[in-house]
Structure 1
Amino acid sequence: MKNLVWDKIKLLFPLSNNTMLVDLITLGKNTIFRNIPNVRNARVRGKYGEAEYQKLVNKFSKIPIDPIHTNIVVKDIVSNLFSGIPRWRSPFLQYNVGAAANVAASAMYALALDENIYNINDGLAGNALVAELAVTNILTKLADIKGTNPYGIFTFGGTATNMYAMKVGIRKASPTSAKDGTPQNTWILVTQDAHFSHAVAADWLGVGTGHIEIIDPKQNRESNLQDAERKVRKIIEEGGLFATIIVNGGTTYSHTVDNIQEFVELRNKLVTEYALDYTPHLHVDSVIGWAWLFFKDYDFESNPLELSKPCIENIKQQYDRIKYINLADSWGVDFHKGVGACPVDCSLVIFNDFTSIARLSKKDSPSTDPHQLAQEFSFSNPVDYTLETSRAGATSLAALTSLQTMGITGYQRSLANLVEMSLLMRKRFSNEQGVIISNEGSRGYVTMIRLIPPTLTPDKVEKFNEEVNSYNKSFYKWDLETRMSRNEGVEYSYSGSFIVGEDGTNIGAQKFYLVSPHVDKNIIIDTVSTVMAQKEVFDREIWNK
């Protein structure tokens, strides 16, 4: 009996080249697709929700005494726990800024996970470390970074890319902070439309959310340079350490890119004027906006992809802003967002000059010497600078695979299609009664709309935002419960705080995020007609009652 169990266990760790991994993945895929009656379904069909969730927690919170056959386990887990998962390749899933995974990138990801590659040093990763360097080189060439020694690190998400930037800024402002801790007078500047993860990173790094200064936006949602200058001057003049400034490189709701060049010039001017003995770190949160770098050498005049004039104008305007990312100190890339086409998580933070990331070296303190890793016998040791010790080699290998299999033209076409279809969506929504396009000037591929209640009358104008917010939230909840939760047609999402109004009111809006390469004109027409048909029913049967 003892040997029989042991023989079964050893089968789970095959030494030879067999088909067990492929067979199990095939079984899992077949099980998934039995619950996808229509390949355009936004989610995998099955029971899911709060009540079902707790049942499944109870069901799977038990470990068997004896091993269960792999086929039974895989089929059981996939059948139950994959119910309700989003299908990012579906054109009807317009829920958020996820990514439709390139199947070649997914295969490479799975292979690397099966071989369990640790991107710690060459001793634990072999040649797999090359992928991280190669992807960094590809992107820094697209960003036209010259004359420096850029360095990139794959990390655990967009949150981490911002955290790395903040940490380097703290080290620049306070070189002894590794030993003494983060000084209490440290400040971080972020934008009003920044992702919430900026505040999370400040909290986790010990800066504190109370030491975040928020830059007010202009009407077009770009960050106000004059407001930033006033706030930085105040920090410096009151004895604070202005460690890091993070500017927009493609915001979540409007894909806004700040004037990077002006912010760099402001930072440099203040360093000189106040004779600072450090240079605050300037980071661009470009985990969405980096993709426009693929248009670096695109011929906008001849327009070989034959894009529409509005589309090509939007792309050129966006590229003409993001290209100044080469003036920043660091920037972020998410391959698991938008057109990145990789499995989650797959994020990269790039430092345009190696001297910035070098400030995080563990060699500077005996207490952080990674002697357990025998790195003196390795010629490549990214672990010397990373927050994580163990990093999966799968991420950089998947990114490299996606870049190679899609190429520049493939990424250009994928991004252009999303922009083109978003323009069409806004146009069709704008032709409908009772709809306001909330991000009309966006150059990206997200559409934010506010539906106007039929009961809004002139005497309620003063309470316009309150009334419209209530209506939109109620409509979304109703559409989610009566249609989207049944996996019928398009699935979008809702934000209760798309922007903050001039009166301080949070502005809510419906959010349509196009990420699938299968989105086309017919999908857009269907999306708009579905929403408007639902609005008609909601107004008649729910709201007016």
Structure 2
Amino acid sequence: MEIHNPEHSDHTGSPDVRTYFSSPFHDESNTAFAQLISDAVRGINSLKPSDRNSSSFLGESPDLTVSRASAQKAVLKPKGEPFSQVLDDIISTFEGLPNWGHPLNMSNICPQENYAAIAASMLTQIFSPNILETEYAWNTSKAELESSAILADMAGWEAEKSGGIFTYGGSGCWMYQMKYALSRVLPDSREKGIRTDVKIICSEQAHYAMLNSADWTGLGMNNIITIKTLPDSNTMDTDDLERVLQECYTNNVPVASVICTMATTDACAFDPVKDVRKLLDRYPNRPEYGKALLYCDAVIGWSWLAFKNYDFELNPHQFSEPVLRSARKNYEAIREIRYADAFGVDFHKNFSPLTSSLFMYRDKDEFENLLKRESSAYLQERGDYNPHNYSLEVSRAASGSMAGWATLKFLGAEGIQHVLIHGLNNKQYMMQELDQYQDMVCVNQSDHGPVLLLRIYTEQTNASEQYSMELQNSDLKNDLVKHNVLIEKVADHLWKWFREKKIIDGKFTPYLSITKGFRPATYNENTTDPEAVIYALKVYPVSTYITRDEMLHAIRCIRSARDEVM
């Protein structure tokens, strides 16, 4: 079936351009369009493997077949191509892409989309609702409004007084919090620009989006102050935070915002929001400045709020004791988000398509009035929801909000709980299996997230003892560096095997990754020595299709790679 058919023409003899576009009417062309979408889905599904015993990328080859130099030679052709040819070209670009959700894909916390989110996101592409104002979004704005209300309730806020706005990612949430903070602390900055070096304060473990926001807002990256993290938990050191806040207060240096990271990527560390709130109240900005903002970067950790009403004593779902303990710790940490002024959410961490991020603010009147602009002459505010007056973006596709909303409705609290527990179960099982290997050690056993961070040594080494000494003894820095090199070589070898479709013990090599700075050595608390940090292999077993077999296979492959690089 072809969309492009030159035989169809209008009365002038030119091709009928209607054949290029989705029909607004319920006619035969809708059947044709549905068939085309079906062909597209079948085409992309053809890249998926037919069984579990396969490599975790799409198609047959992971080779990069495009380069920037070759792509820049593209020009517009005089005539369009048939839909079937365009579709083939579209599908070919997915060849070699990591197959998120495959049981051997344990590289990072990447999106594995649920059916409801996919459907909601896809349908918005047909009619392009724009959450600019009610007139262009119509009832699809319900997705943003209800998602915000649900998240506010989960966080322990008053939903009627709170609000939220979907944006382009966790970086967008960071940008919103920074603009909110600057407008609150320096109200004249909206007209006159930033003329005061206000400070943004976050932990050493904060996401690098802090640099983007400070740079793009014009505040300047030098106005970021990073707070030490505790070596045993990777959480913000509140003593160091108090020192910095006291210094700012004494010297009349205004603080725009303090950011608590709620579940770091590697350690699943939650900063102590309640304690941070107390310190901000103790050391406020001087009267000539506005009140500093407390923001929680909860793009990963927000989902633990789904345990808000779970009875941890009765444990109705019969989660195992170690896993239940981790879930409870994570919920107890994330529920302190109630003390924040704003927080960020990523639905695409395990649940929904990119991008579906939501910036939440506790006081909608303050936020929306503080950032309000004059309306455009060509926009008619015919409804009561017009976020274009204060949003960063003007045109905003409804795809992210619809995907997030559909996810909340489809999974509910129990669905989210079971997805999270699945990852913890995988981690717990792998940690138990590691006990039999003296030369391997999990370096984040005390963390409560699903990720495992592993160090592997030579076969004769007692990994636990060696790691402990490398972490604490500066005299063993050469050993630390040497073994970091080994870890990196093992990671590179596993990546090479993954792309070569190497089979070990009858199964393809899994897709794993590496962290090159899980934590600094204890004698490097100021992180002044870039070499005195801990490298680790990273196993992120969050795909809902991962079983114990894949966890055991990952251990075998890591050991095989170590033996080969040695």
Structure 1 and Structure 2 fold alike (TM over 0.5): yes
Give the Cα–Cα distance (whole angstroms) in 2 for the partners of residues 434 and 87 of structure 1.
31
**1:431 offset after TM fit, Å?**
3.2
SS at match of 1:188: strand
1:514 to 524, 541, 552: 541
**1:312 offset after TM fit, Å?**
0.5
1:418 to 398, 423, 426: 423
**1:9 offset after TM fit, Å?**
5.1
The CA deviation string for residues 189-246 of structure 1, in whole angstroms up to 9 with x for no partner, is 0111111111211111112111110010112111111100111222232232200000
User: Which residue is equivalent to 1:93?
Assistant: 105
Give the Cα–Cα distance (whole angstroms) in 2 for the partners of residues 213 and 21 of structure 1.
54
**1:399 offset after TM fit, Å?**
1.2
Give the Cα–Cα distance (whole angstroms) in 1 for the partners of residues 557 and 289 of structure 2.
59
2:559 to 527, 532, 539: 532
**1:257 offset after TM fit, Å?**
0.8
User: Which residue is equivalent to 2:510?
Assistant: 490
**1:372 offset after TM fit, Å?**
4.3
Aligned partner of 1:112: which letter? T
* Residues 327 and 448, structure 2, Cα contact 8 Å, conserved in 1: yes
In structure 2, the CA distance between the partners of 1:427 and 1:208, relative to structure 1 (3 Å rule), is: farther
Q: Give the alignment of 1:60-459 within 5 angstroms.
A: 61-78=74-91, 80-146=92-158, 149-219=161-231, 220-271=233-284, 277-338=289-350, 341-363=351-373, 369-453=374-458
In structure 2, the CA distance between the partners of 1:432 and 1:21, relative to structure 1 (3 Å rule), is: farther
2:56 to 42, 52, 69: 42
In structure 2, the CA distance between the partners of 1:148 and 1:73, relative to structure 1 (3 Å rule), is: closer
Give the Cα–Cα distance (whole angstroms) in 1 for the partners of residues 478 and 180 of structure 2.
45
SS at match of 2:99: coil
**1:250 offset after TM fit, Å?**
0.7
* Residues 100 and 515, structure 1, Cα contact 8 Å, conserved in 2: no
* Residues 199 and 224, structure 2, Cα contact 8 Å, conserved in 1: yes
Question: Which range is displaced more, 160-169 or 432-441?
Answer: 432-441
Give the Cα–Cα distance (whole angstroms) in 2 for the partners of residues 251 and 136 of structure 1.
23
In structure 2, the CA distance between the partners of 1:277 and 1:66, relative to structure 1 (3 Å rule), is: closer
Aligned partner of 1:181: which letter? G
Aligned partner of 1:258: which letter? D
Give the Cα–Cα distance (whole angstroms) in 1 for the partners of residues 500 and 268 of structure 2.
28
Give the Cα–Cα distance (whole angstroms) in 1 for the partners of residues 250 and 380 of structure 2.
44
In structure 2, the CA distance between the partners of 1:230 and 1:485, relative to structure 1 (3 Å rule), is: farther
In structure 2, the CA distance between the partners of 1:147 and 1:336, relative to structure 1 (3 Å rule), is: closer
* Residues 264 and 270, structure 2, Cα contact 8 Å, conserved in 1: yes
Q: Which runs of 5+ in 2 are unaligned?
A: 1-5, 503-507
The CA deviation string for residues 79-133 of structure 1, in whole angstroms up to 9 with x for no partner, is x200111222212111111121011210110101111111100011111101101
1:474 to 478, 489, 492: 489
Give the Cα–Cα distance (whole angstroms) in 2 for the partners of residues 452 and 493 of structure 1.
17
Give the TM-score taking structure 1 as reference length: 0.91
Give the TM-score taking structure 2 as reference length: 0.88
User: Which residue is equivalent to 2:520?
Assistant: 500
Question: Which range is displaced more, 229-238 or 422-431?
Answer: 422-431
The CA deviation string for residues 264-312 of structure 1, in whole angstroms up to 9 with x for no partner, is 111111128x667521000011001000100001011221111000000
Question: Which range is displaced more, 325-334 or 419-428?
Answer: 419-428
Q: Which runs of 5+ in 1 are unaligned?
A: 364-368
Total equivalences in the alignment: 529
SS at match of 2:312: coil
In structure 2, the CA distance between the partners of 1:245 and 1:450, relative to structure 1 (3 Å rule), is: same
Give the Cα–Cα distance (whole angstroms) in 2 for the partners of residues 280 and 65 of structure 1.
57
In structure 2, the CA distance between the partners of 1:305 and 1:485, relative to structure 1 (3 Å rule), is: farther
**1:70 offset after TM fit, Å?**
1.1
* Residues 131 and 400, structure 1, Cα contact 8 Å, conserved in 2: yes
Question: Which range is displaced more, 52-61 or 8-17?
Answer: 52-61
Give the Cα–Cα distance (whole angstroms) in 1 for the partners of residues 483 and 329 of structure 2.
32
* Residues 43 and 87, structure 1, Cα contact 8 Å, conserved in 2: yes
Sequence identity percentage: 24
In structure 2, the CA distance between the partners of 1:483 and 1:132, relative to structure 1 (3 Å rule), is: closer
SS at match of 1:190: strand
In structure 2, the CA distance between the partners of 1:244 and 1:46, relative to structure 1 (3 Å rule), is: same
**1:29 offset after TM fit, Å?**
2.8
Question: Which range is displaced more, 86-95 or 187-196?
Answer: 86-95
Give the Cα–Cα distance (whole angstroms) in 2 for the partners of residues 330 and 39 of structure 1.
44
Give the Cα–Cα distance (whole angstroms) in 2 for the partners of residues 222 and 325 of structure 1.
15
SS at match of 1:362: coil
**1:472 offset after TM fit, Å?**
1.0
Give the root-mean-square deviation of aligned CA atoms.
Answer: 2.4
